[in-house]
């Protein structure tokens, strides 16, 4: 049986690149998508597409359990779902922080936790969370307070998971991209030097590499994918 990979946010720019890479490498990919994207069926039969509210812990847990029941294991989980918001201290309420916490932390934790438990049972697995520069260094979060605070928890989660998994072949990494070269970002910043940005395909390549035997001895929890941005 092929290795199984869960990819959340499969229809996003980065998610699509990761899906395509893992499918090309022979994985059975189970991707979470929105109801609207499911109707488009952009991946065809190559990907099992699932509509699930990842902010709903029971629903997310049931989703992971169904994957385990269907494939017997989870070899990789790439969790790309998230959201962004601007706002300095004066503009950021606790409600705004709570919204970013749900979008960026709960959607990751609700999938990462059951995946981690399964991987510990099977003795191996790779989990990839998506961080950000504002989450890694608070000073880079100026003007993005709620977003930076929410993303900072992603790094702490990876540290805690790796501490619990020490001595096993279960590793949690945080992928930290700089500006990703997407149509939306090009439209928003038309005067930028696009060649300094990171292409989604490059991120997908690095994530897959960390799932290979060649990377089996790596335990680096933070993977900075900055290019020259």
Give the mean pLDDT of 54-76: 97
Query: What is the residue-averaged pLDDT of the chain?
Result: 92
pLDDT tier at 119, thresholds 50, 70, 90? very high
Q: What is the pLDDT of residue 1?
A: 67
Q: What is the pLDDT of residue 192?
A: 84
Give the mean pLDDT of 174-203: 87
| pLDDT tens-digit map of 215-225 | 888 887 899 98
Tell me the domains of the chain and their CATH numbers: 4-225 (3.40.50.720)
What is the pTM assigned to this prediction?
Answer: 0.94
Rg (C-alpha) for the chain, rounded Å, is 17
Answer whether residue 169 shows pLDDT above 80.
Answer: yes
Answer whether residue 3 shows pLDDT above 90.
Answer: yes
| pLDDT tens-digit map of 5-64 | 999 999 999 999 999 999 999 999 999 998 888 777 788 888 999 999 999 999 999 999
């Amino acid at each position: 049986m092929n290795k199984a990979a869960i990819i959340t946010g499969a229809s996003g720019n980065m998610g699509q690149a990761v899906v395509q890479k893992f499918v090309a490498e022979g994985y059975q990919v189970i991707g979470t998508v929105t109801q609207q994207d499911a109707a488009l069926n952009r991946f065809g039969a190559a990907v099992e597409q699932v509509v699930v509210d990842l902010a709903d812990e029971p629903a997310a847990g049931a989703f992971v359990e169904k994957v385990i029941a269907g494939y017997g294991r989870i070899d990789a989980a790439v969790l790309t779902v998230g959201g962004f918001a601007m706002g300095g201290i004066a503009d950021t309420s606790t409600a705004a922080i709570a919204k970013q916490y749900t979008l960026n932390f709960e959607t990751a934790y609700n999938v990462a936790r059951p995946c981690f438990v399964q991987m510990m049972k099977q003795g191996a697995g790779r989990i990839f969370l998506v961080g950000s520069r504002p989450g890694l260094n608070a000073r880079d979060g100026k003007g993005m307070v709620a977003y930076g605070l929410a993303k900072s928890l992603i790094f702490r989660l990876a540290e805690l998971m790796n501490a619990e998994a020490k001595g096993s072949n279960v590793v949690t990494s945080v992928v930290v991209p700089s500006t990703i070269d997407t149509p939306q970002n090009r439209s928003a910043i038309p005067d930028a030097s696009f060649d300094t940005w990171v292409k989604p395909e490059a991120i997908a390549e690095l994530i897959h590499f960390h799932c290979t035997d060649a990377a089996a001895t790596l335990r680096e929890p933070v993977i900075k994918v900055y290019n020259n941005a």
